[in-house]
């Protein structure tokens, strides 16, 4: 097989992956709006209540399940989705990419994070869902409930970082590890918000959907720019 044929097959494969990603992205957007509509119509109240109470002591709903150290652990985990840590992580990663000679990728990362923050605030203001009053709050809150800002921003930052940083790695195993680790952190942050009583489960689901969709969009844009020679290319993967 000559190099021209290989390049053609590679181009077709790249286009196919982008189209598939866009289809998944469109599906995620549809699911989000369906979920948002159900929340507005109060169709998720029973589900939200059952899941939230599952994290509480049946004898005292003001008491989260588990010993005190579990509550402290939940607060530590939820901090991973806080503005301070996410900002530090994003800037640190941007600096790493810059030092690696990935200046355009650095710019894409910073744009993705800053626009993601704006998106989170707009959605919260638009839906303006009250915080749950079903159980006591084990963490301070001061914004609207839907979607969960911690879950949304954790998904945007950790998953976008994972997708973009994976482009700089040689090993497929390393790529999979980075993305899996980021996914685990995002899930843990979301679960901690429900455990601490500061978000309904559907708030967290919505945050995950929007954040993951945003990260996927950033990955698609990165691939498209790389194909057009406007972004540093992806490192060839090996086992």
Higher pLDDT, 167 or 206: 206
Looking at the chain, the number of H-run helices and the number of E-run strands are 9, 2
* Residue 142 pLDDT > 70: no
pTM for this structure?
A: 0.84
Q: CA-CA distance, 213 to 63, in Å (whole number)? A: 34
Q: Enumerate the domain spans of the chain.
A: 3-227
State which H helix or E strand residue 60 sits in.
Answer: strand 60-64
Q: At what angle do helices 103-127 and 201-227 cross, to 10 degrees?
A: 150
Higher pLDDT, 46 or 136: 46
* Residue 5 pLDDT > 50: no
Coil, strand, or helix at residue 56?
Answer: strand
Contact 154, 186 (CB under 8 A): yes
Q: CA-CA distance, 100 to 140, in Å (whole number)? A: 39
Q: What is the dihedral of CA 16, 22, 28, 29, to 10 degrees?
A: -160
Q: CA-CA distance, 92 to 10, in Å (whole number)? A: 33
Q: Per-residue confidence at 11, pLDDT binned at 50, 70, 90? A: low
Contact 195, 64 (CB under 8 A): yes
What confidence tens digit (pLDDT) does each residue in 62-72 have?
778 888 899 89
Higher pLDDT, 100 or 147: 147
Q: Among 199, 63, 195, 49, which residue's Cα sits nearest to residue 130?
A: 199
* Residue 150 pLDDT > 70: yes
89-93, 142-146, 188-192, 230-234: the lowest-pLDDT one: 230-234
């Amino acid at each position: 097989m000559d190099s021209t044929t290989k390049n053609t097959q590679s181009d077709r494969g790249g286009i196919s992956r982008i189209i598939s990603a866009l289809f998944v992205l469109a599906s995620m957007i549809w699911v989000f709006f369906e979920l948002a509509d159900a929340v507005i119509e109060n169709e998720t109240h029973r589900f939200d209540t059952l899941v939230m109470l599952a994290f509480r002591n049946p004898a005292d709903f003001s008491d989260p399940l588990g010993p005190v150290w579990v509550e402290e652990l939940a607060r530590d985990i939820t901090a991973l989705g806080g503005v301070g840590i996410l900002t530090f992580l994003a800037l640190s990663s941007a600096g790493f990419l810059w030092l690696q000679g990935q200046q355009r990728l650095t710019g894409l990362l910073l744009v993705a994070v800053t626009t993601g923050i704006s998106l989170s605030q707009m959605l919260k203001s638009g839906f303006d869902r009250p915080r749950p009053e079903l159980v006591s709050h084990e963490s301070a809150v001061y914004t609207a409930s839907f979607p969960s800002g911690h879950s949304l921003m954790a998904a945007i930052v950790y998953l976008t970082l994972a997708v973009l940083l994976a482009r700089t790695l040689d090993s497929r195993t390393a790529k999979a590890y980075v993305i899996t680790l980021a996914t685990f952190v995002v899930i843990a942050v979301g679960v901690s918000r429900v455990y601490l009583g500061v978000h309904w489960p559907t708030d967290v689901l919505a945050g995950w959907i929007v954040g993951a969709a945003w990260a996927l969009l950033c990955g698609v844009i990165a691939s498209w720019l790389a194909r057009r020679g406007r972004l540093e290319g992806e490192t060839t993967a090996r086992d």
